[in-house]
Amino acid sequence: MPIANSAGRRIHYEVNGDGPDLLLHHGFTSGSQAWRFFGFTEVLQQHYRVIVPDALGHGLSDKPHDSSAYTLQQRAADVVAVLDDLRVEQVHFCGYSLGGWVGYGLVRHARDRLRSLILGAAHPYADHSWDTFKGIDGSDPAAFISAFESVLNERISDEVRMLVRANDLPALAAAAQQPRPDMAELLSQIDLPCLMFCGDADARHAAVTRATAALAQGQFVSLPGVTHFGGLMQSKLVLPPVLEFLAAQRRD
């Protein structure tokens, strides 16, 4: 089981396929296996060496209950630790939701490790919706899910509720305490190809559209009728533009 060490904590990851390196970073309450479950890994590994870590607090990675472990700078460092463990200098980075937020963190803290960016349902503007997690410690799953639905601005299905409850909720509650300050200044600094996508039924759609317009090399794909959680589940909608975008980087 591949493990990278980051600030003394274990970050689990898996590697599949062969080709240019592509790292997939999942969202909050999800895990590396989501990419396989929803059909991404099987397709992408035919063309790329696909690196899928479990973010700190998720999956088989360590799960500290201290909020200070989950700063954006540390999350970026966790990705770098995986790249260093694999001796990868630069990578195509694809992040969804929390993963997209980490993508912005990599732009700020480790720009030299990026070849391109694919960011799903994530924008760099201040997001105070996470303040709803204040006072949530994970001991009450119903309260955790209620706070999470408030952040998402949508109801989640019974199936997703079951998956969320299977997590280490105190660890995720600690992670949710980290603020999401404004980082819009990064948009003018992103000088590499960037593909953004978001469902038009996702509350973040307008913000992601606006962020894309500020990019020097930005492309935006709107997913019709897709909610925030649906964005990762709809691989048949997401994969075609992702493959086209990545293929263009190989031609350049």
Crossing angle of helices 141-152 and 158-165, rounded to 10°: 120
In a domain? residue 152: no
In a domain? residue 131: no
Residue 57's identity, in one-letter code, is G
In a domain? residue 23: yes
Can you give the CATH number for the domain in which 69 is found?
3.40.50.1820
Q: Give the Cα separation of 112 and 118 in Å (integer).
A: 16
Cα–Cα distances in angstroms (integers) from residue 223 to residues 64, 217, 226, 246, in the given order: 35, 20, 6, 18
Average pLDDT of the residues in 161-168:
93
Reported as a single tens digit per residue, the pLDDT across 165-222 is 999 999 999 999 999 999 999 999 999 999 999 999 999 999 999 999 999 999 999 9
Which one is predicted more confidently, 157 or 4? 4
Average pLDDT of the residues in 23-28:
97
pLDDT-derived band at 47 (thresholds 50, 70, 90) equals very high
Query: What are the φ and ψ backbone dihedral angles of 151, each rounded to 5 degrees?
Result: -60, -45
Q: Are 98 and 28 in contact (CB under 8 A)?
A: yes
Name the domain count of the chain: 1
Q: Give the Cα separation of 202 and 197 in Å (integer).
A: 11
In a domain? residue 135: no
In a domain? residue 138: no
Q: Are 153 and 171 in contact (CB under 8 A)?
A: no
Reported as a single tens digit per residue, the pLDDT across 60-89 is 999 999 999 999 999 999 999 999 999 999
Which residue stretches of the chain are H helix? Answer: 33-37, 40-44, 72-85, 98-109, 141-152, 158-165, 169-176, 205-213, 230-233, 235-251
Share of the chain above pLDDT 90, in %: 93
pLDDT for res 160:
87
Residue 125 token pair:
């503007």
Reported as a single tens digit per residue, the pLDDT across 90-142 is 999 999 999 999 999 999 999 999 999 999 999 999 999 999 999 999 999 99
State the residue range of the domain holding 202: 3-125+182-251
In a domain? residue 172: no
Q: Which conformational region is residue 87 in: left (phi greater than 0), alpha (psi within -120 to 50 degrees), or beta?
A: left
Q: Give the Cα separation of 222 and 121 in Å (integer).
A: 10
Report the SS3 class of residue 248.
helix
C-alpha angle 148/154/159, rounded to 5°? 75
In a domain? residue 221: yes
In a domain? residue 176: no
Q: Give the Cα separation of 86 and 51 in Å (integer).
A: 9
DSSP 58-108: STTS-----GGGG-HHHHHHHHHHHHHHTT-S-EEEEEETHHHHHHHHHHH
Residue 252 has pLDDT above 70, yes or no: no
Q: Are 222 and 236 in contact (CB under 8 A)?
A: no
Reported as a single tens digit per residue, the pLDDT across 234-248 is 999 999 999 999 999
